[in-house]
Structure 1
């Protein structure tokens, strides 16, 4: 029996559309064991079948390695909400692939995990930090494997995470983003991606705030989150330096380097937005982990 733990992720980090992502200290746990028939517990009944994304990824990985798929007993315990922009699907994909390797004795390194998981997800911006930990800038050269640049994130930083009680589906969020932008917008983004990664590494929140001024996706996606403007106002008035949409939303993430400020801001957010779930998170530095039980 094995247990796989995968961190949630915040993709884009405001300025890095489809390129930046960060692992955060919110986790999904998956327990696997061989079985005579497929058994899935811990998730809604509609997902307790062979179409469960964890099991689909498990089967895909086995076939990738030429191994005949077999049934497992799978139990899921997750802190990561579905369709809220925290990489819930990536935790499932990564866990399925890692379980396939562990239960068959297949040796797989993190580079191969990223490759297979990116093929399933379609891009590496969430799966790469879920596997590697830290903040990751990723891209895929044409006809080549994903390239991932991992950055350590300062342990002084705290990320106040606000999860509204409604979903924003990735497909809907992508529809509102322009498919072509002016050269000036592309130039605007490039320097700020470097500023964001450097600021996260050094803990320079003034630099992070200056860099976090996106023109590609947030101006359009914020309209899909009814509470965006009000939450942003409360966060900035409450001491956070900046805020971004996590992934495609609806989760919002604010940043501070003061634990006391983070705690007071969390109280303020709970008072103003009682229907929202809030967490004070740090950057996860380990990425996906496996434990033999």
Structure 2
């Protein structure tokens, strides 16, 4: 049986809309086995235990590309990444499925080919790139080519994910975005994303609060999230380095230094407990390995 571990991801990272993503040390584990016939999927709700399962769809796409005919497939899922929370659960399923199928077929595809196929299935590379490669990545799609580069993030950064008990679909969160933006908003984001990457690379974490500002998606999507403005302000009052919407939301991510942040977890959780919705705080680090066959 093949065992594949895939990390959660947080995309967009403030102004880095549809191009920035980071892998985090929260993982889904997938087990794959070729069986004599049929399809067996364990570890998920019954409604997903069929051929419409995203992991299985991704496996079939991989088999088709390679030209491999599997007799039957068994998948066991151990998921720790919350679904529809902006933490890359679908990207983890896609990357896991493609890698699992590739391993069953004899490891035919290169890492580059796996990235291209996973992006084709997902539709954009901002989550699948860090899920596969680890670390923080800039990834863009140029026609059929995926151009990416890993950002050498300076040491000392901690991520705090504030995850609510309600979901927000990517389709819904994309639906509130405008078809056009003012020119000045485009200039605003170009400057901020440039500053963000430079500050992360140079370890100038004092610049992150300004660098995490955004005018392309957070103001629009924040209106869909009960408590977004209040949580963002509270994080800033607690002296976090930066705060942003994780992916399409509704998870909110705060950045802090590894040292001297002992009270943040306690104080932000106490604040979240006063809100009408239930929120959970997770302390996370960057995963530098990415998807791995264990």
Change (3 A) 1:105 1:123: same
The aligned counterpart of 1:35 is 35
The aligned counterpart of 1:172 is 172
1:20 CA displacement: 0.8
Structure 1 stretches of 4+ with a deviation exceeding 4 A read none
The aligned counterpart of 1:223 is 223
For residues 224-246 of structure 1, give each alpha carbon's deviation from its aligned partner in whole angstroms, at most 9, with x where no partner exists: 11111221122122231210000
Correspondence 1:106 to 2:107: yes
1:134 CA displacement: 1.0
1:189 CA displacement: 1.2
1:259 CA displacement: 3.8
Question: In structure 1, the residue corresponding to 2:142 is in which secondary structure?
Answer: coil
The aligned counterpart of 2:133 is 132
The aligned counterpart of 2:48 is 47
The aligned counterpart of 1:267 is 266
> When the two structures are superposed, what TM-score results if normalisation uses the length of structure 1?
0.95
Q: Which runs of structure 2 are paired with 1:25-174 in the superposition (5 Å)?
A: 25-36=25-36, 37-142=38-143, 144-174=144-174
> When the two structures are superposed, what TM-score results if normalisation uses the length of structure 2?
0.94
1:206 CA displacement: 1.7
The aligned counterpart of 1:199 is 199
Question: In structure 2, the residue corresponding to 1:140 is in which secondary structure?
Answer: strand
Residues 116 and 146, structure 2, Cα contact 8 Å, conserved in 1: yes
Question: In structure 1, the residue corresponding to 2:145 is in which secondary structure?
Answer: coil
Change (3 A) 1:234 1:38: same
Q: 1:276 aligns with which of 272, 279, 283?
A: 279
Residues 27 and 78, structure 1, Cα contact 8 Å, conserved in 2: yes
1:145 CA displacement: 1.0
Moved more, 203-212 or 47-56: 203-212
Question: In structure 1, the residue corresponding to 2:249 is in which secondary structure?
Answer: coil
Q: C-alpha separation between the residues in 2 aligned to 1:187 and 1:218?
A: 16
For residues 247-274 of structure 1, give each alpha carbon's deviation from its aligned partner in whole angstroms, at most 9, with x where no partner exists: 000000000113441x421112222224
Q: C-alpha separation between the residues in 1 aligned to 2:199 and 2:79?
A: 30
Question: In structure 1, the residue corresponding to 2:255 is in which secondary structure?
Answer: strand
The aligned counterpart of 1:285 is 288
Q: Number of residue pairs matched?
A: 289
Q: C-alpha separation between the residues in 2 aligned to 1:258 and 1:65?
A: 44
Residues 157 and 258, structure 1, Cα contact 8 Å, conserved in 2: yes
Residues 66 and 108, structure 2, Cα contact 8 Å, conserved in 1: no
Change (3 A) 1:236 1:93: same
Residues 131 and 287, structure 1, Cα contact 8 Å, conserved in 2: yes
1:159 CA displacement: 0.6
Question: In structure 1, the residue corresponding to 2:21 is in which secondary structure?
Answer: strand
List runs of 5+ in structure 2 lacking aligned partners: none
List runs of 5+ in structure 1 lacking aligned partners: none
Question: In structure 2, the residue corresponding to 1:287 is in which secondary structure?
Answer: coil
